[in-house]
Amino acid sequence: MLQAINLDCVRGERRLFHNLSFQLKAGECLLVHGENGSGKTSLLRMLVGLTPTATGAVHWQGSPIKKLGDEYRRELLYCGHPLGLKDALSATENLISSMELNDESVTQDVVHEALRQAGLQGREHLSVRALSQGQKRRVNLARLLLQKRALWVLDEPLTALDTQASLWVVGLIDQHLSNGGIAVLTTHQDLTLTGTTHVIRVGI
């Protein structure tokens, strides 16, 4: 279970949200809506532990994430901004190095299969700088197939994706939820998921 308890977010002079609380059980998804600059990314960064919570706390399976540290990070897959890809490396090299950074091993065949499913067959060895924005996003999202994590936190995962790739990502999220995973995502698009979906709007 993921719990946000009385979170506050102040950026500069602006309070973006106040006393924000929710909880998500296995199989549940939270869609975070809000205008540009309303605090969606700030909230996600708090949930993954990249931005400290000034007040309130984030709990995972009943314990504060601050206390869990790496134990929490091993349960978590965060696709944020920027995409975190190295331009000089190929899609394959990026994914292998991202797995290695997390002490996970993966074969090139498994990476190629993930890239095939992401619609990047034939582009596995091209340096990422030669890929389009949507293709870069697909490389980043191929991690969803490789890193088996209980909690997905996805910041605008559909940005730059065409209709087919958007359907692919929505299908992956649905599958994740039906396997008992939890997901939090921001999006400016209308999104219909089959699992239990909660919606919050940030910006006050």
Ligand X SMILES: Nc1ncnc2c1ncn2[C@@H]1O[C@H](COP(=O)(O)OP(=O)(O)OP(=O)(O)O)[C@@H](O)[C@H]1O
Q: Under the rule (CB under 6 A), what is the footprint of ligand X?
A: 11-12, 16, 34, 36-42
Q: Using the minimum distance from each CB to ligand X, give the nearer residue, 120 or 184.
A: 184
Q: Using the minimum distance from each CB to ligand X, give the nearer residue, 92 or 186.
A: 186
Q: Using the minimum distance from each CB to ligand X, give the nearer residue, 52 or 122.
A: 52
**Min separation Cβ 71 and ligand X, Å:** 26
Q: Using the minimum distance from each CB to ligand X, give the nearer residue, 159 or 197.
A: 159
DSSP state of 168: H
CA distances from 6 to 12, 30, 45, 57, 148 (A): 20, 16, 15, 7, 29
Q: Using the minimum distance from each CB to ligand X, give the nearer residue, 16 or 139.
A: 16
**Min separation Cβ 203 and ligand X, Å:** 7
Other CB atoms within a 10 A radius of the CB of residue 15 amount to 12
Q: Using CA atoms, how far apart are residues 20 and 4, in angstroms rounded to an integer?
A: 7
Residue pair 55/8 in contact by the 8 Å Cβ criterion:
yes
**Min separation Cβ 163 and ligand X, Å:** 21
For residue 89, give the nearest of 122, 126, 120 by alpha carbon: 126
Residues counted in the chain: 204
CA distances from 163 to 7, 114, 134 (A): 35, 19, 11
What residues form DSSP beta bridges with 118?
A: none
Q: Using the minimum distance from each CB to ligand X, give the nearer residue, 148 or 201.
A: 201
Q: Using CA atoms, how far apart are residues 188 and 165, in angstroms rounded to an integer?
A: 16
